[in-house]
Amino acid sequence: MIFSCAQLTSDMYIKGGMYQSAMYNTAKGGTSYLYAYHFLSSRTMYSYIAPTSPIPGGVCHANELILLFAIPTFTTDDQDKAVSSKMVDLWVNFVKTG
């Protein structure tokens, strides 16, 4: 039940608001890009805000930063490194080509 409540809350307050902003921007002639990060990495940002994750293995806000940037306090396993490489390639290609 905790996961369902957390998912509902994040969808309502974070994803819902971002989606509405993107739709408004697009309706006014702007270009918007959205993405959602759902990879269950071996590491989480929860360790910065709480001793344990409220949702074991859950993905929290800004968790992708662990894989996008070299953060010395986080070690990564082989799967993390593979996803990190793919994410960096995707972000670089987006910057280059939109």
Predicted confidence (pLDDT) per residue in 30-49, tens digit: 999 988 888 877 777 776 66
Spatial distance between the Cα atoms of 92 and 98, rounded to a whole number of angstroms = 10
| Residues 48 and 74 occupy one common structural domain | yes
Q: 0.85 exceeded by the pTM?
A: no
Q: What's the domain count of the chain? A: 2
Q: Secondary structure of 58-70 in the HEC alphabet?
A: CCCCCCCHHHHCC
| Residues 10 and 58 occupy one common structural domain | no
Structural domain boundaries, residue 17: 1-31
**Ranges in the chain, pLDDT < 70:** 1-4, 6-8, 10-11, 47-58
| Residues 24 and 42 occupy one common structural domain | no
Please, are residues 56 and 3 in contact by the beta-carbon 8 Å criterion? Answer: no
